[in-house]
Amino acid sequence: MRIVLVDQKGVEQALEAAEGWRVMEIIREHGFEVGGLCGGACACATCHVEVHAEWAGKLHPANDDEEAMLDEVPVLSPTSRLSCQIIYTEDLNGLAVKLVANG
């Protein structure tokens, strides 16, 4: 199972993913700079990613806490999510997300 990551330079790569992991953790485990300062507590927004439009509607909607943190990110897109709030499942095999500058 995999996710597809587009890094800040626009380079796309497939990353092995494990069920039950947060997408933020999967990205970080592969050595990419994804922030994650609060460890997945939905309290920092440094793990902000843009979900590919094709996948955005397949994810559970952001809850109020995630929406509130997304309001803090410098540049918000219609498919912005906090990657720590997306728990990877086999249904998400091939999930495509893009790293964005969060600082």
- Counting contacts by CB under 6 A, is residue 49 touching ligand FES? no
- Counting contacts by CB under 6 A, is residue 38 touching ligand FES? yes
Binders of ligand FES in range 83-102 (CB under 6 A): 84
Position among 47, 70, 95, 96 found at the interface with ligand FES (CB under 6 A):
47
- E-strand stretches of the chain: 2-6, 12-16, 48-51, 80-82, 95-99
Position among 5, 27, 51, 82 found at the interface with ligand FES (CB under 6 A):
82
- Counting contacts by CB under 6 A, is residue 23 touching ligand FES? no
Question: Who's near 67: CB < 8 A, 6+ residues apart?
Answer: none
- Counting contacts by CB under 6 A, is residue 36 touching ligand FES? yes
Q: From the DSSP assignment, how many helices (H) and strands (E) are in the chain? A: 3, 5
Position among 5, 17, 27, 44 found at the interface with ligand FES (CB under 6 A):
44
